[in-house]
A = this chain, B = another copy of it.
Amino acid sequence: MNLLAKIYVTLKGSVLDPQGAAVTHALHALSYDAVRDVRIGKYMEVTLSATDETQAHELVRGMCERLLTNPVIETYTYELAEVEQ
């Protein structure tokens, strides 16, 4: 079966986010004063094939922990959905 994993990676709450601070500043400069805070993360779409959902979950967790995220400063969530073809 073919699956699409949508992976969302965010910095842990206690970790400083200078990129988010820069975007907040830029939004204020554009008069978006309603903006309180911006946190920047990553979003990844991974297309993969697996024999079943259990194997797919294992694969996605493994690649997140080994390559896609830095578990010291980041957390991740993901969604798995079957796709055609």
Contact = CB atoms under 8 A, between A and B. Distances in A.
Contacts of A41: 42-45
A57 interface: no
Interface residues of A, number: 33
A47 B40 contact: no
Contact of A37 (B9, B36, B40, B47): B47
Interface of A: 2, 8-10, 20, 23, 26-27, 30, 32, 34-50, 59, 62-63, 66-68
Contact of A44 (B23, B45, B46, B50): B23
Given A23-B68, A32-B62, 20 more contacts: A10-B43, A10-B45, A23-B44, A23-B67, A26-B67, A27-B63, A30-B63, A32-B48, A34-B49, A34-B50, A35-B47, A35-B63, A36-B47, A37-B47, A39-B45, A40-B43, A41-B42, A41-B44, A42-B42, A42-B43
